[in-house]
Amino acid sequence: MAKEYVNMRNLRFVLHEVFAAENFSKNPYYADYTKEVIDMTIDTAKKLGDDLFFPIYTEMDKKKPHLENGVVTVHDDVRKIMDAMGEGGWIAAPASAEEGGQQMPGTLYAAANFIFHAANTSAASYFGLTTGSSDLIRTFGSKELNETYVPHMDSGKWQGTMALTEPDAGSSLGDITTSAEPNADGTYTIKGQKIFISAGDYHSAENVVHLMLAKIKGGPVGVKGISLFVVPKYRPENGKLVNNDVISAGVFGKMGMKGCPILHLSMGEADNCKGWLVGEPHKGLSYMFKMMNGARISVGMMSTALCSAAYHASLEYCNERPQGRPVSNKDPLVPQSLIIEYADVKRMLLFQKAITEGCLSFVTQCAYYSDMEKISEGAEKEKYNLLLNLLTPIAKAYPSEMSVLSTSAAVQTLGGAGYCDDFPLEQYFRDTRINPIYEGTTGIQAMDLLGRKIPMKMGQGLMLYAAEINQTIAEAAGIESLKTHAENLAKAMQKLTEVTMKLMGLAQSQAPEVFLADATLFLENAGIVSIAWQWLKMGIVAQKAVGTANGDEKNFYEGKLAAMNYFFLYELPKSAALCERLLSDNRLTLEVKKEYIN
């Protein structure tokens, strides 16, 4: 087992030196979150990570959940972790004090979640899902629903889930068939099947509260007919909890995230499953979407967390593993070199560092916009809203796709040992593979970015994004050592704008399939540009600090500059090739007949 999974010095750098998160305390809503409180919060998260999450990371993978006689058994420590997260106020942390929360800035909550997920992403999923689902009830549910469910969920005793997916409706939620029939008492009778529901049931949860999408009989077809319900495993009745006819029909075997089960749930087999409408009828998907920004940014953060853990594990190995000798000195009498001495191994480590730290900064940027939106008014609020909306699909998809490559590079740095389960690398690689799939696949995020977010409000989001990047470029251009990177980022941004104009032109003149055909490449390019922007931002801070730093601090800032250089020299050039492809009029993927690839 590796010894470390996050770099706390780097987390402080991002929070304090790049985003000055302590400035949130100037706003009355976040007044408690001074620098000391921020540091104390992440130190507490790290201690929880060290004591509760990290020690059972591989054990949870090996002792995977199973279903027997209707009971889903998970690792015993899940209870301990949920209790600790409830007692520590972590589940309700983002909620207002009035609602029983901690009013924690999203920027800080994201940093704490980065630690928990790096320590043990399966274990962290249980409480993350509960936070998301209790937040839905809090925001859109009635007073009665709030009083009945939220306190139990916030305490960690009742598990929350998001129950959307069905056997024939994953990306296309408009096709769900789970039905809801109104009853005279104001409840609904629920009937249907849900699959892949994370933490959908387990032995040590006193109750499971599903935030479930279903269609009210007789309502509009498609997405306009989707409503949101609270469907508990046990429903409160006359002061007792009674069975609500939600059956755990199966636990799926899966590639990773084995510590957290995904359930096949069957509702209403005995016609006795009741649901409670959240908010208004037929608005279910819009409620889900309002929460989706947070959930998607969380997936970006979870992916980054796994990059971080894998990076640390591979780094540790490379510092200890002797193998071979440099090409310039093959003398067998000379002791073997540590593999960290070789350029190709350094390349793999720099790649991981550049992705981990670049994505951490980018996802934090999105959380920062979310906080700024919350505490701003008028035009400022609108600005942050547009930026957040534009960047959310990128923050979800790019770190998740890159986490697959970054954890794969971590496996590679260990050679054969990376493939074997004595080391956690193969687990990090398996665990992160879900991130580009759930909360909307990369393909769906890409269509959201290009088809909805770019054209939104006549392209205002893109203009604001360009303005933010240009501000960083202007600052970097005034620092001699960063001038070339600033110029290269400016060129990449110009090209991104050119591609966007061309695709928006196609959107006017051709079927939507044409301009959306390579949306995933468009998103990848936007991801590269966004991470380059973050690296330039970090580079400015590092360049200003490195001159007066000594010892470990000097190495820290030099390391920042090296990883920035890596991203600009090895990753940013990929943007040009993607743009060339996006500007081409060749329509291979649209036109190729399915018979040719069968």
Distance (Å) of CA 188 to CA 28, 184, 201, 275, 513: 42, 9, 22, 5, 39
Q: Which residues contact 197 (CB under 8 A, 6 or more apart)?
A: 161, 162, 163, 165, 210, 262, 263, 264, 265
Return the range that interacts with ligand FAD (CB under 6 A); candidates 93-101, 194-202, 403-411, 466-474. Answer: 194-202
Q: Amino acid identity of 457?
A: K
CB of 438 to ligand FAD, least distance (A): 4
Catalytic pick among 166, 373, 426, 439: 439
Residue 514 touches ligand FAD, criterion: CB under 6 A = no
Which amino acid is present at 589?
Answer: T
Judged by beta carbon, residue 415 or residue 443, the one nearer ligand FAD is: 443
CB of 428 to ligand FAD, least distance (A): 15
Instruction: Give the β-pairing of 71-73 and 66-68.
Output: antiparallel
Query: Binding ligand FAD by CB under 6 A: which of 60, 164, 386, 499?
Result: 164
**What is the C-alpha to C-alpha distance for residues 417 and 480, in angstroms, rounded to an integer?**
43
Q: Which is nearer to ligand FAD, 115 or 257 (CB)?
A: 257
- Select from 6, 110, 145, 163 the one that contacts ligand FAD (CB under 6 A): 163
Q: How far is the CB of 337 from ligand FAD (least distance, A)?
A: 41
Q: Which H or E run contains 395?
A: helix 378-413
Closer residue to ligand FAD in complex, CB, 156/440 = 440
Q: Does 53 bind ligand FAD (CB under 6 A)?
A: no
CA distance 299 to 312: 20
Distance CA 43, CA 49 (A): 10
Q: How far is the CB of 289 from ligand FAD (least distance, A)?
A: 14
- Read off the tokens for 511: 């079927």
What are the tokens at 472? 């960083």
Beta carbon nearer to ligand FAD, 163 or 208 = 163
Exactly one of 10, 121, 198, 525 binds ligand FAD (CB under 6 A); that residue is 198
Instruction: Give Cα separations from 138 to 94, 164, 199, 229, 503 (angstroms).
Output: 12, 19, 20, 13, 40
Interaction between residue 444 and ligand FAD (CB under 6 A): yes
H or E segment at 473? Answer: helix 456-477
Smallest gap from residue 64 Cβ to ligand FAD (A): 12
Q: How many residues bind ligand FAD (CB under 6 A)?
A: 19
Residue 31 token pair:
């007044």
Whether residue 201 contacts residue 238, with contact meaning beta carbons closer than 8 Å, is answered with no
Among 48, 197, 273, 299, binds ligand FAD (CB under 6 A): 197
**In this chain, which of 171, 183, 336, 584 binds ligand FAD, going by CB under 6 A?**
171
Nearer to ligand FAD, 392 or 543 (CB): 392
One of 49, 141, 170, 268 touching ligand FAD (CB under 6 A)? 170
Task: Work out which of 12, 16, 254, 457 binds ligand FAD, going by CB under 6 A.
Answer: 254
Q: Which stretch binds ligand FAD (CB under 6 A): 38-46, 142-150, 155-163, 302-310?
A: 155-163
Residue 479 carries which side chain, given as an amino acid letter?
Answer: I
Q: Measuring CA to CA, which residue among 271, 285, 296 is closest to residue 399?
A: 296
Span interacting with ligand FAD, options 192-200, 220-228, 467-475, 483-491, rule CB under 6 A:
192-200
**Residue choice 102, 165, 189, 472 for contact with ligand FAD (CB under 6 A):** 165
By CB under 6 A, residue 162 contacts ligand FAD: yes
Residue 542 beta carbon to ligand FAD: minimum distance, rounded to whole angstroms: 37
Residues in the chain, how many? 598
Q: Which is nearer to ligand FAD, 286 or 441 (CB)?
A: 441
Q: Is 489 in the site for ligand FAD (CB under 6 A)?
A: no
Cα torsion 107, 258, 196, 300 to 10°: value is: 20
Q: Closest distance between ligand FAD and the C-beta of residue 179, in Å?
A: 17
Find how far residue 405's CA is from the centre of its chain. 16
Which of 305, 353, 351, 279 is closest to 57 using CA atoms? 305
Q: Can residue 443 be called a binding residue for ligand FAD (CB under 6 A)?
A: yes
**Cβ contacts of 246 within 8 Å, gap of 6 or more:** 201, 208, 210, 231, 232, 233, 265, 266, 267, 273
Q: Which helix (H) or strand (E) holds 235?
A: strand 234-237
Q: For 184-207, give the secondary structure using H, E and C.
A: CCCCEEEEEEEEEEECCCCCCCCE
Site string for ligand FAD, 208-247 (x = CB under 6 A): ----------------------------------------
User: What are φ and ψ of residue 260, in 5° steps?
Assistant: -120, 115
The DSSP bridge partners found for residue 263 are 197, 251
Q: Does 192 contact ligand FAD by CB under 6 A? A: no
> Minimum CB separation from ligand FAD for residue 121, in Å?
11
The residues facing 262 across adjacent strands are 198
Cα–Cα distance measured from residue 120 to residue 476, given in angstroms and rounded to the nearest whole number? 37
Q: According to the binding rule CB under 6 A, does residue 159 interact with ligand FAD?
A: no
Please identify, among the stretches 152-160, 163-171, 241-249, 328-336, the one whose residues bind ligand FAD according to the rule CB under 6 A. Answer: 163-171
Please give the C-alpha separations between residue 522 and each of 115, 173, 399, 405, 578, in angstroms, as whole numbers: 30, 24, 15, 18, 8
The answer to whether residue 498 is catalytic is: no
Q: By rule CB under 6 A, what string of x and - marks binding of each residue 259-278 to ligand FAD?
A: ---x----------------
Residue 164 or 306 with smaller CB distance to ligand FAD: 164
Contact map string, positions 396 to 435, toward ligand FAD, x by CB under 6 A: --------------------------------------x-
Catalytic residues: 439
Q: Which residues bind ligand FAD (CB under 6 A)?
A: 161-165, 170-171, 196-198, 254, 257, 262, 434, 437-438, 441, 443-444
